[in-house]
Structure formats: structure tokens, C-alpha cells
Amino acid sequence: MSPPLPTSLPVPKTHKLYIGGEFPRSESGRSYALTRPGAKRAYAQLCLASRKDLRAAVDAARAAQAGWAARSAYNRGQILYRMAEMIEGRADSWQTLLRSGLGHSAAQAARALAATVDALVYYAGASDKYPQIIGAVNPVAGPHHNFTTPEALGVVGLVFDDGPDPAASAARIAAAIAAGNTVVALLPGPAGGLVAEFGEAFATADLPAGVVNLLSGDAAELAPQFASHMEIQGLAFLRDEPARRIEVERAAADNMKRCVASHGPLLALERVLDFVEYKTVWHPIGT
């Protein structure tokens, strides 16, 4: 048996994508380096997702959507809570990523992790509340039972900022899936470093495959593809890029995507309502 290698030669990690519950590399074979600000060596290699990876992610999200929306709101809430538990359980690994990979101080990393867990817990408790808050029984002036209920929009695309913000990302993802949507999220540039940790936690949280799909890559390359994809029903373009936002919202009009452009408060009912439809059902009352 040969002696162990010195610990100064760590195994360099390649972080993969999270699509349909699995961890594939980009079909394109492309990658980019995640390097902590000020560091000489890369912390990890990240997959540079391609248009084809996005298509695969949307297929997975599409396939998972009806089943996810059909689960009870209680069950979706349980799974969101489990996601919070799994992230908390991987605190050490998150600390390493946030500090060594993304340059957080120990205090910053602890705060970010706590806020991430908070976001998931907040929306774990929202799935079976928001329909009561925004739903209605409508007093129409005739012999009819008339009620309005919110329901999931379908597949939601989230295009995040390059700056890694685990709590904001978790909040957006959780808000969308709490309502029964499935998600394809692009965490571009350095934010792509979050894909692996989120993926590992979600994959072990009883979250059905395809409900959340995570891509690392380049927003300039993929944002237009999100905007024009006909199987995406809602899109949050969360980047401070006015020119690209115009381009994205123009292309999104082709299938009348519901578009959201600003973050707004992270923990709020409105984040769930960003991606719901309202259905009103009439039925006569009589004998």
C-alpha cells in the first residue's frame, strides 16, 4: 500500500448541474473556474450550461409539474421544511463553500446560511396559507356558487444575478415551488458555486426529481433562451441590466410569460403570487 498524498494536494472539484434529480455535466463539455476574490488558485470548476442543458432542464421541470402541483399543499410544505433541514445539516460544507469558494467571512457565512434556512422555512409554511389569503368565495348576484382559487402557473424560470446570494435564491425558488410550480434556475458566474450545495440538499430532501433544476453558466448566453422558451410560463429576470431586461421581456411576450423584474421583499406573500394564476369556478345552486 502506497503512503497517502500530502494534504496540500486536495482533489480539485468539478461541480455539476442539477437537472431532473441528477447531477450531469454540461452536455457541451464546457466549464469555468470559480475563484475566491483574491485567491490564486480556483476553488472549483463549474459547468458552463448550454442551451441544450436548459432545454433538458425545462423538459424535466415540465414533466414534474403536474405531479408536484397535484400534491397536497401540506406535503409541499413538509418537503420545503425538509429542504431547510438538509441545508442546516450540511452547515459545514456550506461554510467551506461560502468562505473558501465565495470569500465570505465566518460571520457573513453564518448569517447567509441562517437567512437561507429562514427563507425555506418561511415558504414551507406558505404553501397551505396563500390560497386562503388570496382565494375568495365571491358573492355573485345570482343562484351560483362562485369561488376563486390560485394555482401554479407551470414552469418558472429564474435568472439570478452573478453575485452569489444563497438566501435570495432560496427564497425565490421556495416561493415558486410552494405554489406548485417547478423551477429552472440559472445561477450565473460565481453564483454558480451555489448549484452543487443546493443540489445536494434538494436531492436528499424528498423533493421529486425535476421540481427544481439548477444551472451554472453565463446569463448573457442563456437569458434570451429562457425568455423565448415556449414551455416556460413565468420568468423572473433578477439582474440589474436595463437593456437586457427589455430584450428579455420582448421575447417573453411570444407566449405571454408572466415577467418579474425586481427582487422586492424576500419573505413575502407577493413572491408566491408572482407566479400563480387565478381560476374562478361557477356552479348553479338549486335542486
Q: Which residues bind another protein (CB under 8 A)?
A: 133-134, 136, 138-142, 144, 146, 148, 151, 233, 242-243, 245-250, 252-256, 258, 261, 264-265, 269-270, 277-284
CB of residue 180 to another protein, shortest distance in Å: 11
CB of residue 267 to another protein, shortest distance in Å: 12
Q: Which of 265, 258, 219 is nearest to 235 (CA)?
A: 258
CB of residue 120 to another protein, shortest distance in Å: 20
Closer to another protein by CB, 39 or 66: give it. 66
Q: In what order do the strands lie in the sheet with 13-15?
A: 13-15, 44-47, 31-34
Closer to another protein by CB, 3 or 242: give it. 242
Cα gap 140→75, rounded to integer Å: 33
CB of residue 121 to another protein, shortest distance in Å: 18
- CA-atom Rg of the chain in angstroms: 20
Closer to another protein by CB, 9 or 256: give it. 256
CB of residue 100 to another protein, shortest distance in Å: 35
The pair phi, psi for residue 111, each rounded to 5°, is -65, -45
Closer to another protein by CB, 48 or 248: give it. 248
CB of residue 206 to another protein, shortest distance in Å: 24
For residue 87, is it left (φ>0), alpha (ψ between -120 and 50) or beta?
alpha
Closer to another protein by CB, 108 or 282: give it. 282
* Secondary structure element (H or E) that encloses residue 147, with its range: strand 144-152
* The three cell numbers locating residue 247: 430584450
* Residue 232: alpha-carbon gap to chain centroid: 14
Three-class secondary structure of residue 119 per DSSP: helix
Beta bridge partners of 148: 136, 280
Closer to another protein by CB, 105 or 132: give it. 132
What is the β-pairing status of strands 276-284 and 212-217? unpaired
